[in-house]
Amino acid sequence: MPERAVRIANCAGWLWDRFSGLRDALAGPVDVVSGDYLAEPTLRQLALERAGDPSLGYARSFLAQFTDAVDLLAERGARLVVDAGGLNPAGLADEVRRVIADAGLELTVAHVEGDDLSARLEHLGALEHLDTGVPLAASGLAPTTANAYLGGWGIAAALAGGADVVVCPRVTDASLTVGAAAWWHGWGLEDWDRLAGAVAAAHVIECGPQATGGNFSGFTTVPRVDDLGYPIAEVAANGTAVITKHEVAGGTVTTDTVTAQLLYEIQGPTYLNPDVTVHLDDVALTQVAPDRVEITGVTGSPPPPTTKLAMTAPGGYETSVAFYATGLDLDAKVALLRTHVDRITAGLDLSLLRIDRLGVPVDDPPDQWAAAQQILVTAQSRTKSQVDAQHFVAPMTGLFLPGYPGLYVTPLKVCAPVVEYWPALVGVDELDHVVVTADGTRTPVAETPQRAPFAGQRPSDPAPDPPDLGPTRRVPLGLVAHGRCGDKGGNSNVGLWIGAGADERAWPWLAATLTTARLRALFPDAADVAVERHVFPTLRAVHFVVHDVLGKGASSNGRPDIAGKAVAEFLRARHLEVPECLL
């Protein structure tokens, strides 16, 4: 196998990533292109599409990208690995072959199967919710999708078998890169440190432009921030990696943009994957050249005997109505609105009702919109009629006359289907992980022989005593710290770190200041839930996992920020006493 690093470019981070992504990822020399199209709610959406047309169930957005760029893929001689197969990888593989034939090209396509357990749920015992421990049987839900997270060895086998395009179902986001790197370097099933390094690199590039300046708290310093390129991971034979991008692409790759993505949606210093347990305690980033960041220090150990099983089920319907209040007496206006909402909903069978106030009018507003606050009323019900236009929306819009002065209203969502997300664990021995070629040959994927039960994250790290840095000033936390957050089901993770070039005294101050108690004070939603805190000294980062703050997950919690994507920016806007020497 080649001894040089394999160049793996990303072309998509979600179902509706930009159309030109595949062509953009091929804008320079690469060996493999990966594309991540799936999130838990996406599988439910694909299930609805497949119910209407059994030939669907895959990411049609990928097929459009592929049709546009297949000529360039063949010209580059690159391999392509995507999880766009969703619930119908065989169907998408056939469509990909059709596109290749129509283009007059000769590329080999294989697909991976083994994740779909929806037909076997009743034989898998008493599945329990991964976070709450509630049995599925007691949930009242009837899952319509049940997909286990597969590892990367099926991808490696397909590539080794000569596939130019590998279509995957629900694999882990990292598996796309791990499988490609393992194939390229000929790694073994127990090359723990190498596999772990590839997982870390994969985690950085899996969300596309988030590694080159997207969703980055320092975005005002990013060049061509309106034209961000897709990242590339150069994974070496020893598992270390360099994150970079094509020279023609916009954005930038720095230790800060890579730190942001490393801290995004992780479980803590131990990161579980079906192929390896990844230990990020000593991960280190080095800016080795402009737009080139090296990742080292990642270690691995045997993976657990289980993998995550993501189930989705119909959860009813959701309707939301946005009221607006302007100017003075806002508290009294909202109180009157609550009275009306309580009256309207008193006889309805609702499973959720939220009233959220968004924004605060400025003093002496320069225009009408600067004086306004949005009050978002969101309701869910298992019965469609309880939140339909007649029983919910019409009474709400009927508040024009008896409501507060200046009331105006906009229905935002009417009877939108709610997706209930239910994560559990399933033994990997329950999976039938196979590679399927064009002639229908099914080849079982080799199973990792050594596994170890997950002992849990290490205890939360204690905060050191704060250093004495002299006089302080009350300012936003974001003046001294970057932040990134994400969702893991009903949990929110938040990482805050000291950026490159900052005063060296800022890190000891941050590590001492951002205690669990301080986080609860800054983030009221965390006041009564479990919080884990860990520090990453080599990243100069403090990382929190805030449990249950996102309800039942992004697809059904009814929050305005359903996936907690703005939690870090909210925390950076909070004021606290910061030493003046750090400003």
For 244-267, the pLDDT digits (tens) are 999 999 999 999 999 999 999 998
Specify whether the CB–CB gap between 59 and 84 falls below 8 A. Answer: yes
Spans in the chain with pLDDT lower than 70: 1-2
The pair phi, psi for residue 200, each rounded to 5°, is -60, -45
Strand, helix or coil for residue 370: helix
CB 61 within 8 A of CB 11: no
- Cross-strand pairs, 293: 243, 287
List the structure tokens of 335.
Answer: 């109180």
pLDDT in the model for residue 429: 93
For the chain, list the domains and their CATH numbers: 6-115+150-303 (no CATH), 314-419 (3.30.70.360), 472-582 (no CATH)
Count of CB atoms situated within 10 Å of the CB of 313: 21
CA 232-561-374 angle, 5° bins: 135
Alpha helices in 189-329 (DSSP H): 192-205, 255-262
CA-to-CA separations, 248 to 25, 245, 287, 542, in angstroms, rounded = 11, 8, 20, 34
Give the pLDDT confidence score for residue 3 in this predicted structure: 82
pTM, entire model: 0.95
Q: Give the Cα separation of 296 and 216 in Å (integer).
A: 22
To the nearest 10 degrees (0 to 180), the angle between helices 192-205 and 175-185 is 130
User: How far apart are the C-alpha atoms of 445 and 166, rounded to whole Å?
Assistant: 14
Q: Which of 182, 190, 185 is nearest to 155 (CA)?
A: 182
Reduced to 3 states (helix: H, G, I; strand: E, B; else coil), residue 245 is: strand
**Cα–Cα distance for residue pair 490/332, rounded to 1 Å:** 32
Q: Which residues contact 102 (CB under 8 A, 6 or more apart)?
A: none
Question: Phi and psi at residue 247, in whole multiples of 5°?
Answer: -60, -30
Residues present in the chain in total: 583
Phi, psi angle pair for 409, to nearest 5°:
-150, 150
Question: 561 near 296, Cβ under 8 Å?
Answer: no
Q: Where is 510: in which H helix or E strand?
A: helix 506-513
Q: Looking at the DSSP assignment, which residues form a beta bridge with residue 319?
A: 379
Q: How high is the pLDDT of residue 531? A: 95
Return the pLDDT at 2. Answer: 57
pLDDT of residue 43: 85
Tokens of 174: 């990292």
